[in-house]
Amino acid sequence: MSSPFRFTHTVTERFLRYVVIDTQSDPSSPTCPSTEKQKDLGRLLAAELQEMGIRDAHLDQHGYVYATIPANTDRQVPVICFCSHIDTSPDCTGKDVKPQVVRNYRGGDIVLAGDPAQVIRATEHPALAGQIGNDIVTSDGTTLLGADNKAGLAEIMDAAHFLISNPQIKHGVIKILFTPDEEIGRGVDKADLKKLGANFAYTIDGETAGNIEDETFSANAATVTIEGVSTHPGFAKGKMEHAIKIAAAIVDRLPKTTCSPETTEGREGFLHPIGISGALEQATLRFIVRDFTDAGLKEKEALLESIVKEVMKGYPRSTWRLEIKQQYRNMKQVIDGHPEIVDNAMEAIRRAGLKPVKTSIRGGTDGSRLSFMGLPCPNIFAGEHAFHSRLEWVSVQDMEKAVQTIVHLAMIWEERA
Ligand SMILES: [Zn+2]
């Protein structure tokens, strides 16, 4: 079904306005937002929403923007929320972003004007092959672009504007939530879900046009502590059991061709050491465990335990302990309880003229945290590619498709209410 509406082409103007505002977050800062400058963009977004006529739009003290588009239907429609993050990654500078637009892309590599060493190579970015004839926005190569997640901000803003200027399109109450500090894992720390008052939400922060992600990893942390036997090195023969050497032996026995980030993809999980510290007497190994199922997590933790036990056989007077801590869970466990959330999104993507593709995220998202806080929240594409790097890019046409998807989604919830 093709779109019955004449969509405007204003999403790119919005996007170009937002990316020049530096909103990089900072993991070492204890404040919320972690950087005060994120509020510069928050203030602009709230003001633009006000200008559209959204009276309750505001930026709160923690750097969150809330807004409500009132319902214009008599039907009882669940309240849905669209959500994006204001900050950009601490991995790559977002100061003085100079966006460039390659009009009517003809294929091949894109050399970035500000630093010719920065080249978006067609071979390394296979998604470019699907963009022939499109207009591609990049940075000038000296900074990241910030499409992650300013593409999402621009798309939600543009869809809000479209809904408000087309009152003949019926929809329920639509909530908007823009969050700070997503990139440092603190994006929902101060989100007030009571105040938001939504039943279901969608983050607009995914990659390829047409994608919807309803699964994340489930995540645990595992810590192995080894207590060795310390003696004076001059008199240690037959007595000393060295905690550092025990820890090293454990690491050495981890699987070499499976079960690690560098040997897995798709739906495979892993057991990944992230820290080692110690001395003769005591050593600590820290791991993260990732899988899409709880059974998969258990399997990996059992593997770790069996390796530790095996190694410890050689050190009979030393002791060990293994602690497992839950970090986050696959949001599918929550989202599957409300299949209409994903069904409606798939239909909206279809009506925007794209083929919906359901995928999973090899990580956690704010959406997975929101889901377990009581707000089920899958992730819809924003069109962002090559996140957190100077080679980041997004196409104008994909952003326009995302706007259409959001508008159709609002309508579909009303139609099906
Ligand atoms: Zn993002």
Distance in Å, CA 164 to ligand 1 centroid = 26
- Cβ burial of 316 (10 Å; 0-12, 13-18, 19+) is exposed
Q: For 133-178, give the secondary structure using H, E and C.
A: CCCEEECCCCCCCCHHHHHHHHHHHHHHHHHHHCCCCCCCCEEEEE
Helix and strand totals (H; E) in the chain: 10, 17
| pLDDT tens by residue, 231-266 | 999 999 999 999 999 999 999 999 999 999 999 999
Q: Is residue 1's pLDDT more than 70?
A: no
Distance 146 CA to ligand 1 centre (A): 9
CA 343 → CA 340, 357, 412, distances in Å?
5, 12, 10
Determine if the peptide bond prior to 199 is cis (ω within 30°).
no
Consecutive H or E run containing 45: helix 38-52
Are 78 and 417 spatial neighbours (Cβ–Cβ below 8 Å)?
Answer: yes
Identity (one letter) of the amino acid at 227? E
Q: How far is the centre of ligand 1, averaged over its atoms, from the C-alpha of 92 (Å)?
A: 14
Q: Which residues contact 197 (CB under 8 A, 6 or more apart)?
A: 79, 175
Alpha-carbon gap, residue 191 to 361, rounded angstroms: 22
Residue 44 pLDDT: 98
Cα of 320 to ligand 1 centre, how many Å? 39
Q: pTM for the full model?
A: 0.90
At 62-83, the pLDDT tens digits run 999 999 999 999 999 999 999 9
Please identify every residue annotated as catalytic.
Answer: 87, 182
Write the pLDDT tens digit of every residue in 152-186. 999 999 999 999 999 999 999 999 999 999 999 89
In the reported structure, the alpha carbon of residue 183 is separated from the centroid of ligand 1 by a whole-number distance in angstroms of 7
Q: Which residues lie across from 224 on neighbouring strands?
A: 285, 322
Does the pLDDT of residue 5 top 90, yes or no? no
- State in Å: Cα 85 to ligand 1 middle: 7
Contact indicator for 270, 259 with CB cutoff of 8 Å: yes
Q: Taken in order 259, 260, 262, 264, is the CA torsion positive or negative? A: positive
Distance 332 CA to ligand 1 centre (A): 19
**How do residues 90-112 score in pLDDT, each as one tens digit?**
999 999 999 999 999 999 999 99
Helices (H), 185-293: 193-196, 243-252
For residue 382, pLDDT over 80 is answered with yes
H helices of 232-271, in order, are 243-252
Task: Record the tokens describing residue 319, joined without a space.
Answer: 């002791």
Residue 6's pLDDT is 80
**CA of residue 207 to ligand 1 center, whole Å:** 9
Residue 80: count of CB within 10 angstroms of its CB: 23
